[in-house]
Amino acid sequence: MDFKVGAILDQSKIGNNGDKIDMLMLPLDTMDSLASCDTTYQYTIRVSEDSEEQAEREIEQILQGIPGLSIRSLSAAIAQNENFIQGMKIALIAAVAFIGCFAVMNLVNTILTDIITRQREFALMRSVGMSQKQLSAMVRYESLITATIGLFLSLILGGAIGGILCTFLKQELMSYLTYQFPTGIAVIYCVCVVLCTLVVSGAALGHQNKATLIEQLRK
């Protein structure tokens, strides 16, 4: 049997498992003449939503005596996809939480290191007339500035990288994917960073104040 080539599949649209996203269709009689077996791949049965369970039970009874045939309902496919998406959400939330905790710990370490290394400087300021309240306010504002710069860079760079990644995935793999900036998570993260900054700076200064000015100047 002779055929005339009417189209060629795009190699870029052939998946890693060999599945072809683009398909070439042949008439049913041509397929039957080429193959020595039934070429039917699947049947699609549409029923009303309230009759889906009953139809599924009846079809399963029919298929019990026919090996090699199976049934898959729309509700089962939806449930499977929802479970997959839920698992992906949990994994992503865990990854984001880990990265967030690591970033907060890094910020806390930076603030503590800055306060400890400037202990003699703070003692000198106290000795020339600066009050403890003024010193605490200065350190608190400096720590907040450091945290604000870190938050700004994290949100800008993180949002940009997330948008670029979603755009790439949408063009190459997931055409249904849409990017949405995680406003709620970003707000919670910012609040946690600010609170940790205030608590850590206050606790570090409080620990230093347990020593006298002479002791702080000697360190």
Please indicate, yes or no, whether the overall pTM of this predicted structure exceeds 0.85: no
* Cβ atoms of residues 128 and 178 within 8 Å: no
One pLDDT digit (tens) per residue for the chain, 219 residues? 676 766 666 666 555 555 555 666 677 777 777 777 777 777 788 888 788 888 888 888 888 877 777 888 888 888 888 888 888 889 988 888 888 888 888 888 888 888 888 888 888 887 888 788 888 888 888 888 988 888 888 888 888 888 888 888 777 666 667 778 888 888 888 898 889 888 888 888 887 777 776 776 676
pLDDT the model gives residue 15? 56
Sign of the CA dihedral with 144 first, then 150, 153, and 157 last? negative
Please give the C-alpha separations between residue 88 and each of 94, 121, 163, 210, in angstroms, as whole numbers: 10, 50, 18, 49
Strand partners, 136: none
Q: Give, as one character, the DSSP assignment of residue 12.
A: G
